[in-house]
Structure formats: structure tokens, C-alpha cells
Amino acid sequence: MFISNAFAQTAAGAAPENSLLTLWPIILMFVVMYFLMIRPQMKRQKEQKAMMDALGKGDEVIAAGGVLGKITKVSDVYVTLEVADATEIVVQKSAINTLLPKGTIKSL
């Protein structure tokens, strides 16, 4: 007349999963991200810093916004660029994008 109680049974022979095996895809994803994203970015930053340290008077550069000029004065944070005859502008060193080969800018 009454319904009997049902009790859950454990599965026979179920082996616990290896926790390292379940973490393997996540570890692999971080390794791939390191080699595809993080490492190239660190290399680019290192090259940019080396270029900033090597800037000197007479170097021809491209600044942010595409401004071409020849360096006339270098300080710790700022660089003075001659963009035309008797026309100089002061920009931050971090605004320098590219160091051009000597003789690229002919008519300043």
C-alpha cells in the first residue's frame, strides 16, 4: 500500500579521473598564448626601447602622426625635431615610431 524508499547505488568500477589530464587543455592553451601573443610583444617592446636609447642628433625619424624630421636635440624625455628649414617641434621620445636610414629626408 505504501511506496517503498529508493536508495541510490554507487556505480561499480568507476575509476576517478586524473586531475592533470583534465587540466591539460588549459595548460596547452596558456603555452600557445605565450608563444603567439606574449613573447612577440615582449620582443617588440625590447626593440622599441633599444631604438629609443640609440636616438642621437642627426638621426632621421618618423614620429606619431607621420611627422618626418631630423633630430636636433635629445633629452631624457623629449626630442626636438627639425621638420622644415628653421622649424622645430618638440615631441616625446615615446612618439618616435621609426628610425629612418641616413639621407632619407633630403630637403629640410
Q: What does the pLDDT look like over 15-57, one tens digit per residue?
A: 566 777 888 899 999 999 999 999 999 999 999 999 999 999 9
Helix H or strand E segment including 92: strand 87-92
Domain 56-108: give its CATH code: 2.30.30.60
Q: Tell me the domain boundaries of the chain.
A: 20-54, 56-108
Q: Which residues are registered as beta bridge partners of 98?
A: 62
**How confident is the prediction for the chain on average, in pLDDT?**
88
The 3-state secondary structure of the chain, one letter per residue: CCCCCCCCCCCCCCCCCCHHHHHHHHHHHHHHHHHHHHHHHHHHHHHHHHHHHHCCCCCEEEECCCCEEEEEEECCCEEEEEEECCEEEEEEHHHEEEEECCCCCCCC
Find the Cα–Cα–Cα–Cα dihedral 64, 37, 100, 67, rounded to 10°: -10
Q: Whose CA is closest to 64, among 45, 50, 75, 79?
A: 79
pTM of the model: 0.65
